């Protein structure tokens, strides 16, 4: 009899077991937010490092060529400069976007050499060398791993711009997460000194090796002369200050083949470029893009709102910096410093940080 009593005393009752499970569940509930916060902190740190490495690669390009890389080398008629897309859309002579030009300084020399070799037979580098006609036509050319922010959703290849169809005359342009500063207003901000960012659309029709007369579909439009490496923005022209001018920030790619945002080698707004017209992660105001999914996210998660640009040749398109980080985006300045910029930053301060010679130097708030 005494042994049976001892066994009963050593065993858990159902109530006791439920209490223990409830305590464990409560502890897990308390620990999960802290664990998720720690994970995001690590991801944000890696994203900050990626942007810093991009800035260092830009500085190495400047050491070699005396300037930053062009935002987009263009050799079409100036009337077509606003076109973002493929040859069939009128972008029949374009060089590599800045995202490609700095690859040799990001331990991506072999991939860069493949693209440069492709340029010998390419009218449009994005379409011919990194899109659906790239080494893997089903996937397009993958961007360097350093162009992905670990906080952002890693999009499947089915979300590639133009995947399984044609959008802007491009097929399978993969998506990434970093964009260069094109100024404080729109794609053509470079034409106004007070609005210009650190990347311009550069006319390379007078480049060394360029044909005297340029015509659509003429074989002379092909060639590595479209690099325009020495025609980018010089550090000396950044009179607002290298520590007070944004070099690059973040973009979120939307999981749709019809949305340009994040298309890493596309020389158009939202692909490899943004402006400071809208504040970071704007909850009101739309991106104005050549192709996108309008109002693709219902409130309150409508940070992807956009409008399709009805006049793309006018250069009026604009895209905001967007990230998956709670509360803001990461930006790197021309001097290589990196900052977490809160969504609630004064919109005018943010706009002034987007100009290289706007005459109103802006200071980032202390973090």
- SS3 state at 246: strand
pLDDT for 1 equals 46
Q: What is the pLDDT of residue 331?
A: 97
- Taking only the tens place, the pLDDT of each residue in 236-275 is 999 999 999 999 999 999 888 999 999 999 999 999 999 9
CA distance 255 to 74: 28
Distance CA 25, CA 33 (A): 13
Q: What's the pLDDT at 63?
A: 96
| CA distances, 360 to each of 26, 195, 318 (Å) | 52, 11, 21
- Direct distance between the N- and C-terminal alpha carbons of the chain, in angstroms, rounded to an integer: 71
Instruction: Give CA angle at 127 (191, 171), nearest 5°.
Output: 120
For residues 274 and 238, give the distance between their C-alpha atoms in angstroms, rounded to a whole number.
18
Q: How many CB atoms are closer than 10 A to CB 36?
A: 10
Q: Which residues of the chain have pLDDT under 70?
A: 1-12, 16, 30-37, 133-138, 164, 212, 295-303, 365-367
Which contacts qualify for 327-331: CB closer than 8 Å, 24 or more apart? 328/280, 328/281, 329/249, 329/250, 329/280, 329/281, 330/44, 330/47, 330/48, 330/51, 330/149, 330/249, 330/250, 331/51, 331/246, 331/247, 331/248, 331/249, 331/250
CA dihedral 92, 98, 103, 109 (to 10 degrees): 40
Q: Which of 124, 125, 72, 52 is nearest to 269 (CA)?
A: 72
Interatomic CA distance for residues 65 and 63, integer angstroms:
6
Contacts (Cβ under 8 Å, ≥6 apart) of 353: 244, 245, 246, 276, 331, 362, 364
HSE (CB half, 13 Å, CA atoms) of 115? 29
What are 154-206's pLDDT values in tens digits? 898 889 999 867 788 898 999 999 999 999 999 999 999 999 999 999 998 88
Q: Cα(34)–Cα(193) distance, rounded to whole angstroms?
A: 46
Tokens for 203, please give them. Answer: 């006319």
Residue position matching structure tokens 């390009």: 61
Question: Reading across the β-sheet that carries 246-250, which strands appear in turn?
Answer: 273-274, 178-181, 246-250, 328-333, 338-342
By DSSP bridging, strand 201-203 and strand 287-289 are unpaired
């Amino acid at each position: 009899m005494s042994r049976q009593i001892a066994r009963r005393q050593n065993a858990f009752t159902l109530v006791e077991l439920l209490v223990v499970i409830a305590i464990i569940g409560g502890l897990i509930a308390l620990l999960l937010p802290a664990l998720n916060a720690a994970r995001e902190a690590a991801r944000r740190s890696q994203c900050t490092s990626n942007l810093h490495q991009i800035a260092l690669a830009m500085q190495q390009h400047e050491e070699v060529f005396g300037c930053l890389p062009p935002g987009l080398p263009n050799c079409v008629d100036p009337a077509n400069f606003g076109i973002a897309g493929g040859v069939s859309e009128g972008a029949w002579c374009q060089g590599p976007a800045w995202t490609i030009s700095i690859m040799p300084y990001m331990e991506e020399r072999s991939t860069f050499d493949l693209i440069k070799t492709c340029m010998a037979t390419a009218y449009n580098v994005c379409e011919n060398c990194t899109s659906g006609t790239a080494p893997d036509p089903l996937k397009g050319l993958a961007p360097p791993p350093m162009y992905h922010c670990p906080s952002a959703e890693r999009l499947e290849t089915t979300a590639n711009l133009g995947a399984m169809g044609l959008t802007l005359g491009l097929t399978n342009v993969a998506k990434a997460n970093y964009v260069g500063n094109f100024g404080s207003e729109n794609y053509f901000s470079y034409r106004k000194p007070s609005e210009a960012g650190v990347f311009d659309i550069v006319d390379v029709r007078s480049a060394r090796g360029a044909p005297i007369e340029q015509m659509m579909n003429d074989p002379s439009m092909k060639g590595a002369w479209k690099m325009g490496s020495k025609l980018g923005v010089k550090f000396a022209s950044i009179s607002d200050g290298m520590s007070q001018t944004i070099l690059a920030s973040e973009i979120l790619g939307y999981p749709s083949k019809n949305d340009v945002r994040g298309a890493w080698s596309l020389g158009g707004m939202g692909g490899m470029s943004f402006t400071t017209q809208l504040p970071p992660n704007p909850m009101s105001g739309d991106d104005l893009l050549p192709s996108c999914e309008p109002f693709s996210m219902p409130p309150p998660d409508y940070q992807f709102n956009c409008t399709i640009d009805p006049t793309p040749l006018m250069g009026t398109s604009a895209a905001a910096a967007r990230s998956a980080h709670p509360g803001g985006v990461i930006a790197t300045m021309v001097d290589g410093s990196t900052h977490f910029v809160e969504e609630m930053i004064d919109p005018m301060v943010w706009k002034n940080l987007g100009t290289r010679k706007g005459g109103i130097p802006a200071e980032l708030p202390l973090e």
